Amino acid sequence: MVLGVEISAISLLLLLASSASAQDGVFDIKKYNPKADIAEALSAAFKDACASATPSKVVVPAGEYTMGPVDMKGPCKSTVEVQVDGNLKAPAEPKGEPGWVSFEYIDGLTFSGKGVFDGQGHIAWANNNCNKNPNCKSFPLNFRFTSLKHALIKDLTSKDSKNFHVNVINCENVTFQNFVIDAPAESLNTDGIHMGRSKDIKIIDSKIGTGDDCISLGDGSEQVTVTGVTCGPGHGISIGSLGRYDNEQPVRGVFVKNCILKNTDNGVRIKSWPAMKGGEASDIHFEDITMENVTNPVIIDQEYCPWNQCTKDAPSKVKISNVSFKNIKGTTNTPEAVKIICSSALPCEQVELNGIDLKYTGTQGPAKSECKNAKLTITGTLNPPGC
């Protein structure tokens, strides 16, 4: 009888020990016997945290790790935080997966930590021929966020992604804060944060340097706020490109404020394809922007046709209205500091230029502003003049 009591006591102790992580709500990948590649351990830890009925946390401690693709998918029973303090490296050779780290169908996600996610993109960049081939091979993104609600992504670093660093699709109420994107100017097709079909997205106090748009908004982006972002290198902060595909949803309610662009190929931009599909962009506002040695600081381009993959024989079918550029100052390295080139079929309406003061630093002057097919309101300074 005594032996039975002892066995029961030991069983109880083992049960308590095995459930300790669940009770305190912390699921450390170290408890999952991670291999050299921690993808399996992280997936298992997230699965257990997602099944918890109370708020939980997945932890990747400080250290150096390699990790294959991971897809963390809900719905979860309660809120989940994934805290990564280690430095993670993706496989150097991509194997066709669409994304390296994916979060899907989660309501109440916090993704945080001091970690660096190194996509090891150099091999992919060298083999990227998208500037010549419209059907080029697609390489994996560092992060895919799909169908998230009430999410916070903060303090992490995305480094050298093979493709876009971040793709936000069909999400609602997602905030990026103190988020860092680090890649060289030669990293082809590596948009920093791209979004589409998403609502109430905030990008706050972040630093983005990459080889394409620092931030790009595709169709269906609504109520987007960008504040305190430093962009460079890169292609600027862009709405679009729009009008390339059937059934694109409108872009509405975009506010970009208190941002700095350094040595970028564009500044703040709206772009749509000519002679293709319809669309709409409205209620878009850029304010208190500092430009430092920027090409095309202020631009609406409805003749956007990269790598000659389209024709300019017919005008854009995208309607642009209620757009403002206010208090935009600094330096431009091209004489055309302001370019508002709209569609002849659907001229831009309610475009406001207010307090534009851009100094041209080159030798091809004089500097000028150019506007075409737009109904403009100009108040305060417009330097250089021309519109």
Cis, peptide link before residue 366, omega less than 30° from 0: yes
Q: Which pLDDT belongs to residue 131?
A: 66
User: Can you tell me the distance from the alpha carbon of 335 to that of 339, in angstroms, rounded to the nearest whole number?
Assistant: 10
Q: Are 95 and 124 in contact (CB under 8 A)?
A: no
Burial class of residue 134 (count of CB atoms within 10 Å of its CB; 0-12, 13-18, 19+): exposed
Rg (CA), the chain: 24
Q: Are residues 154 and 268 in the same domain?
A: no
Token couple for 84: 């990564």
Q: Are residues 217 and 173 in the same domain?
A: no
Query: Which of 242, 257, 163, 280 is CA-nearest to residue 202?
Result: 257
Please indicate, yes or no, if residue 324 is contained in any of the structural domains: yes
Of the candidate ranges 87-96, 150-159, 286-295, 302-311, the one whose mean pLDDT is the lowest: 302-311
Q: Give the side-chain half-sphere CA count within 13 A for 253.
A: 10
pLDDT at site 20: 40
Tokens of 77: 């029973």
pLDDT at 5: 39
Q: Are residues 169 and 224 in the same domain?
A: no
Residues 228 and 113 occupy one common structural domain: no
Percentage of the chain modeled with pLDDT above 90: 86
> Are both 64 and 116 inside the same structural domain?
yes
Contacts of 15 (CB under 8 A, 6+ apart): none
- Confidence check: pLDDT of 3 > 80: no
The domain in which residue 59 lies consists of 42-131+138-179
**Secondary structure (3-state) at 363:** coil
For residues 258 and 314, membership in a common domain is answered with: yes
**Does the pLDDT at position 116 exceed 80?**
yes
Say if 167 falls within a structural domain: yes
CA distance 52 to 50: 6
pLDDT band at 8 (very low <50, low <70, confident <90, very high): very low
Helix residue ranges, H only, the chain? 2-18, 20-24, 39-51, 122-126
How far are the Cα atoms of 17, 33, 160, 290 from residue 117, in angstroms, in the given order?
Answer: 32, 21, 8, 29
Q: What is the pLDDT of residue 7?
A: 37
- Where residue 10 falls among pLDDT bands split at 50, 70, 90? very low
- Residue written as token pair 């257990």: 48
Output 352 or 97, whichever has higher pLDDT: 352
State pTM to two decimals. 0.93
Residue 191 lies in a domain: no
- 174 and 227 part of one domain: no
Query: How many other β-carbons are positioned within 10 Å of the β-carbon of residue 237?
Result: 28
The model's confidence at residue 312, banded by pLDDT at 50, 70 and 90, is: confident
Residue at 15 is within a domain: no
Residue 39 has a pLDDT of 98
The two tokens of residue 291 are 């430009």
Mean pLDDT over 167-196 rounds to 97
The percentage of the chain sitting over the pLDDT mark of 70, rounded to a whole number, equals 94
Same-domain pairing of 235 and 155: no
Residue 194 has pLDDT above 70, yes or no: yes
The answer as to whether 23 is a domain residue is no
Same domain, 340 and 264: yes
Are 191 and 213 in contact by the 8 Å Cβ rule? The answer is: yes
pLDDT exceeds 60 at position 58: yes
Task: Please state which of the ranges 4-8, 262-266, 367-371, 381-385 shows the lowest mean pLDDT.
Answer: 4-8
Count each helix (H run) and each strand (E run) in the chain, helices first.
Answer: 4, 31
Q: Are 355 and 381 in contact (CB under 8 A)?
A: yes
pLDDT at 309 (0 to 100): 75
Do 218 and 111 share a domain, yes or no? Answer: no
Residue 214 banded pLDDT, cuts 50, 70, 90: very high
User: What angle is formed at CA 122 by the lines to CA 120 and CA 125, rounded to 5 degrees?
Assistant: 125
pLDDT at 226 over 80: yes
Residue showing tokens 């500044």: 267
Eight-class DSSP state of 25: T
Q: Which sign, positive or negative, has the C-alpha torsion 300, 302, 303, 304?
A: positive
The rounded mean pLDDT for the chain is 92
DSSP string covering 214-247: SEEE-TT-EEEEEES-EE-SSS-EEEEEESSSTT
CB 274 within 8 A of CB 314: yes
CATH code: domain of residue 370:
2.160.20.10
Torsion of CA 229, 86, 74, 160, to 10 degrees: 50
User: Could you tell me which residues are beta bridge partners of residue 158?
Assistant: 117, 181
Q: Give yes or no: residues 166 and 248 share one domain.
A: no
pLDDT tens-digit map of 333-356: 999 999 999 999 999 999 999 999
Looking up tokens 């506010």 gives 255
CA distances for 185 relative to 152, 202, 367, angstroms = 28, 25, 26
As for how many domains the chain has, the answer is: 2
* Range with the poorest average pLDDT among 15-24, 259-268, 271-280: 15-24
Buried b / exposed e along 49-78 (16+ C-beta atoms within 10 A): bbebeeebbbbbeeeebbbebbbbbbebee
Model pLDDT for residues 248-270, shown as the tens digit of each residue: 999 999 999 999 999 999 999 99
Q: What is the pLDDT of residue 229?
A: 98
Q: Give the phi and the psi of residue 291 in degrees, each rounded to 5.
A: -110, 130
- Mean pLDDT across 285-302: 98
Please check whether residue 5 lies inside any domain of the structure. no
Q: Report the catalytic residues.
A: 235
